[in-house]
Amino acid sequence: MADLAPLLEAKDKRFEPNLGRRFHSNINRRFYTNSVRKPCWILRPLSLRRCVLAITVLCILSIIYFSHYTFNSPLTSLIHRNTRPEPNIKCSIMNGPRLPQNHDHKTEARLRSDPKVLVFVETMYSKLGREIAELLVYTRIKYKVEVSGKSLPVLTNLDKGRYGVIVFENFNKYLQMDNWNRELLDKYCREYMVGVIGFINPSEETLIGAQLKGFPLFIYTNLKLKDAALNAASQILRLARAGETAWGTLPGEDWTIFKANHSTYEPLEWAHRDNNYQTDEMKMPLPTIVQDHGLFDNIQRVIFGSGLKFWLHRLLFLDSLSYLSHGQLSLSLDRLLLVDVDDIFVGEVGTRLRPDDVKALLATQERIQNMIGGFKFNLGFSGKYFHHGNNDEDKGDDLILENIDKFMWFSHMWNHQQPHLYDNLTQLTEDMLLNKNFAKEKGIPVDSGYSVSPHHSGVYPVHDILYTAWKKVWNIRVTSTEEYPHLRPARLRRGFIHRNIMVLPRQTCGLFTHTMLIEKYPGGREKLDESIQGGELFQTIVYNPINIFMTHMSNYGNDRLALYTFESVIKFLQCWTNIRLKTAPPLQLAETYFKHFPEETDPVWGNPCDDLRHQKIWSRNKSCDSLPRFLVIGPQKTGTTALYTFLSIHPAIASNLPSPDTFEEIQFFNANNYYRGLDWYMNFFPTDPNSTNRYFFEKSATYFDGDLVPKRAHALLPHAKLVTILISPAKRAYSWYQHTKAHGDVIANNYSFHQVITANDTAPKPLRDLRNRCLNPGKYSQHLERWLSYFPPQQMHIIDGEALKSDPMEVMNEMQKFLKIVPLFNYTSHLRFDPKKGFYCQIISGDHTKCLGRSKGRHYPPMEERSLKFLQRYYLSHNTALVKLLKRIGMRNIPQWLKDDLTDTPG
């Protein structure tokens, strides 16, 4: 700075006088001119107050003029509306002939193994392992995860292989397996023609020409690469399409490349060194994925030199699964696409569609139709807001209606109101009729059978009167939602059917941001393009056979980013994949979807209370307090009714209202009642602001052994506590038989207990059904394991049924502690043993007792000795597993009946 000071000082001395002379001469010239031309009163000195007032008025006028000019002038329209990005996908092969890469990969070998993937991971938490598992979940491919280094799982089932492809997160774990397991695995792969996929994991050590153990293949590690391309001659390519180059630096600096010394190896992907100083040799393409044709040891493999961070590797991984499984794990190449444009007439002035926006919409649609035959944007409308813009925007509305037949149409609400705010079916129906009458007046089709609720409400969480009104007014047969389940990423969502209306998963394009935001945040455009070119949006379409995208009107007018996004991603898909993009009306989409995924027809009701967004779009008359906080899950004939009675005595606990069909049990999670929906279930738990009985519970003894019950219960009540009662399974089976016999069951009255429990699989179906109801619930460990796969042990309380019968006061005290109910209710003064009944009853009216009905506490003839011995042998393995399970979950006192059953088991 000291060296610069003389120069700066000289600069000041040199320029300041000249500037001053010019400034003063200009002032004098202007003053002279004005004094000649204007009256002299202009020269009068102004007061400070007048100056401030004049400046203030001038500022206000400037702001008003600027605001008007900014938001209404044609120039502003050009600034905000004509600076949108144009699709920039450059693809030389898009319009050229397609290479013959569309292999179906099917061979006779596919019949020898199951379509399932065995994945070996380093740990259950390793990153690449999770990414592999997630990709298999997204594409609905069955898989099993094992930690490397342990014993191999069972690989065969009779004469068939259990797995079609073996995947190693770290290929070195495969190379370093002990000889016994390696020989066993290789023998399995050869015998059943099962292939192996491996990933070379990054390491701190840089290897140069290191040989892979036992193979004529050499690797170079920790490289930075760029410009990837595919081998067009590879038989693996199916989803992925060769011919283009993914220009630019590839993600990561830990890539591995391969150099082979055997004809068995063929490159699948190449890339180049990302280095400005390269020799001619370094400019050669470098294999980053190699295919082993099995010529060396009769096992086919695909080895990746990097993980799944690079989007192209995800396609190649799926293609490798398809190829190595002989077509069993192939994804269909067909993709159906529907783009909804919500709120076509709804929007603030200045954000709605103008004529040039409508023309751009039509022009883009026409270009997309050249790539997807018959494609049409699907416009959702609320008639009340037609012609609610400025003059230019109203012309845009008119232009849309002039082109009605060029679009598909679906209904919103007339006033764009959220349906969950309607508690009255009549009002909801009237609102829909207004929109339907508007559609008929304007010539908009009303027979699409498809509708979507504004703000996503009424679809999920389900608002039942909406479904009723939809059917009544519009004959709706299909809708879509982004909320079920409320999962991220979007490709994890699924559909369901409720009240004969098919609900499809919907992908919301949260990628669209206003152009000004892209300008404000430099990464905005790059993030959008990243999603299009191999990222989230691209992968969503690749992994889902049917895609419904929800977009908003403002993304077609205010910034037109929707047009840019969809045209770009379609071009990119055509450039890099063999996917066949198609379109269809919503009803046809729904039928195709549930044909693909019939298992999704059953809904899984989630808990709106666990999601703030769900709570906001839940009906106003719903309350989180109207859900039970614990479940008594059974099994039957173990004392659940007695427990229900004891719980009902408690002043802080309330049970559900009785069911007209099943009495105190709702039987929601394991029966057809589940399809009646969440509203039906919650009506059994009415909330009373004046009541303190808010600790709701439900008892349904059939829940215990229901296959779907744990999954359903956890989806709706993930924090609920579970209570189950266990007695000797032999005793429980006999009690159930006597129960059905007392109720007049024909089979029970015509067959002895021994005949029932020993019936074989060729017996008549009614007899087999009774046998199963006697025997299956007693496989306690099997059913508890299913529950514990969804609920942690801390949420489960296991009661010894014999202790409940002999000392219910102590059992109920322990249960109150488990439920954390304070203060403890004193059951001693409310229960008394009844010698006639043989169990404890409730004390009422001073010294009287109220016991369970005559059907409870019956005295049965003793079980035959041969039946007892048969059941002890039958349940031996199950009881042994139960002891291990109880110890594992921390139950200190093993029930005496369980010890006795194991001790008395005949040899």
362-416 residue pLDDT tens: 999 999 999 999 999 999 999 999 999 999 999 999 999 999 999 999 999 999 9
Which pLDDT band holds residue 663 (cuts at 50, 70, 90)? confident
């059994």: which residue's tokens? 684
Is residue 735 a known part of a binding site?
Answer: yes
Bridge partner list, 832: 841
Least confidently predicted of 125-129, 578-582, 738-742, 850-854: 850-854
pLDDT value of residue 892: 83
Q: Tell me, yes or no, if 884 is annotated catalytic.
A: no
29, pLDDT greater than 90? no
- 265-294 in b/e form (b: 16+ CB < 10 A) is bbbbbbbbbbeeeeeeeeeebbbbbbbbeb
User: How many whole angstroms from its chain centre is CA 257?
Assistant: 36
Q: Where would I find the H helices in 797-864?
A: 801-806, 808-819
How confident is residue 612, by pLDDT bands cut at 50, 70 and 90?
A: confident
pLDDT tier for residue 855 given thresholds of 50, 70 and 90 = low
pLDDT at 693 (0 to 100): 58
d(CA 367, CA 605): 41
650 is in an annotated binding site: no
Q: How far is 868 from 731, CA to CA, in rounded Å? A: 9
Q: Check residues 614 and 59 and name the one with the higher pLDDT.
A: 614
CB 226 within 8 A of CB 271: yes
Query: Dihedrals φ, ψ of 396, to 5°?
Result: -65, -40
Do residues 152 and 104 touch, judged by C-beta distance below 8 A? no
pLDDT over 70, % of the chain: 85
The reported pLDDT for the residue numbered 492 is 75
What pLDDT sits at residue 74? 37
Domains and CATH numbers, the chain: 109-325 (3.40.50.880), 334-600 (3.20.20.370), 623-902 (3.40.50.300)
Least confident of 62-76, 111-125, 540-554: 62-76
One-letter identity of residue 854: R
**Token pair 């729904």 is at which residue?**
590
In this structure, of 227-231, 359-363, 505-509, the range with the lowest mean pLDDT score is 505-509
Token pair belonging to 583: 């379109």
Tell me which residue has tokens 């990561």.
252
Examine the pLDDT at 19 and tell me if it is beyond 60. Answer: no
Res 35: pLDDT: 38
How many residues would you count in the chain? 907
Contact (Cβ atoms closer than 8 angstroms) between residue 450 and residue 586: yes
What is the per-residue pLDDT for 290?
98
The arithmetic mean of pLDDT across residues 590-613, rounded, is 91
On average, the pLDDT of the chain sits at 87
Token pair 């600034």 in the structure block, residue: 79
pLDDT of 469 strictly over 70: yes
Q: State the pLDDT at residue 276.
A: 67
Mean pLDDT of 661-667: 89
User: Rounded mean pLDDT of 562-573?
Assistant: 95
The conformation of residue 133, written as its DSSP 8-state character, comes to H
Q: Cα(349)–Cα(689) distance, rounded to whole angstroms?
A: 45
Asked if 318 and 331 touch (Cβ cutoff 8 Å), the reply is yes
Coil, helix or strand at residue 261: coil
Consult the annotation and say whether 77 binds a ligand.
Answer: no
Whether the per-residue pLDDT at 102 is higher than 60: the answer is no
Cα gap 427→568, rounded to integer Å: 43
Type of residue at 183: E
Q: Which tens digit of pLDDT belongs to each residue from 672-697?
A: 999 999 889 999 998 876 665 578 99
Q: Determine the Cα–Cα distance for residues 607 and 611; give it in Å rounded to an integer.
A: 8
**Which is the catalytic residue, given 376, 637, 699, 779?**
637
Q: In the prediction, which pLDDT does 767 show?
A: 96
394 within 8 A of 387, measured Cβ to Cβ: yes
Q: How many other β-carbons are positioned within 10 Å of the β-carbon of residue 457?
A: 24
Distances (CA, A) of 842 to 359, 720, 801, 810, 838: 78, 27, 18, 15, 13
Q: Residue 473 carries which DSSP code?
A: I
* Residue 827 assigned as binding residue: no
Give the mean model confidence (pLDDT) for residues 481-493: 74
858 appears as a binding residue in the annotation: yes
* pLDDT score recorded for residue 860: 83
Q: Residue 833: CB partners within 8 Å, gap ≥ 6?
A: 839, 840, 841
719 is in an annotated binding site: no
Of the candidates 134, 138, 287, 278, the one whose C-alpha atom is nearest the C-alpha of residue 200 is 287
Give residue-wise pLDDT tens across range 793-834. 999 999 999 999 999 999 999 999 999 998 999 999 889 898
380: tokens are: 């959702």
Per-residue pLDDT of 107-149, as tens digits, reads 888 889 999 999 999 999 999 999 999 999 999 999 999 999 8
Q: For residue 209, list its beta bridge partners.
A: none
| 612 three-class SS | helix
Which residue type, as a one-letter code, is found at position 746?
V
First to last CA, the chain: 101
Q: Is a pLDDT exceeding 80 seen at residue 752? A: yes
CA 751 to CA 738: how far, in whole Å?
Answer: 12
Once rounded to an integer, what is the mean pLDDT over residues 196-203?
94
Q: Name every residue whose Cβ is closer than 8 Å to that of residue 852 and which is 6 or more positions away in sequence.
A: 641, 642, 645, 837, 839, 841
Tens digit of each residue's pLDDT (9 = 90 or more) over 73-91: 433 333 344 556 677 777 8
User: Phi and psi of 149, rounded to 5°?
Assistant: 100, -15
Q: Rounded to whole angstroms, what are the CA distances from 456 to 93, 288, 345, 461, 463?
A: 40, 45, 17, 9, 11
Q: How far is CA 269 from CA 101, 253, 609, 678, 745, in A?
A: 15, 17, 48, 51, 69
What would the pLDDT profile of 269-301 be if each residue is shown by its tens digit?
999 998 865 655 557 899 999 999 999 999 999
222: which 2 tokens? 């920790």
pLDDT tops 50 at residue 16: no
Q: Which residues contact 269 (CB under 8 A, 6 or more apart)?
A: 228, 229, 230, 231, 287, 288, 289, 312, 313, 316
Q: Could you tell me how far CA 305 lies from the centroid of its own chain? A: 30
**H helix count then E strand count, the chain:** 31, 32
Q: How far apart are CA 263 and CA 472, in angstroms?
A: 68
Sheet with 208-211: list strands edge to edge.
208-211, 217-223, 255-260
CA distance 656 to 632: 12
860 is in an annotated binding site: yes
**pLDDT beyond 70 at 10:** no
**Mean pLDDT value of segment 262-275:** 95
Q: How far apart are CA 883 and CA 875, in angstroms?
A: 12
Give how far the C-alpha of residue 701 lies from the chain's centroid of Cα atoms, to the nearest Å: 31
- For residue 848, which phi and psi values (nearest 5 degrees)? -90, 160
Q: What is the pLDDT of residue 694?
A: 75
Residue 181 tokens, joined: 């397991």
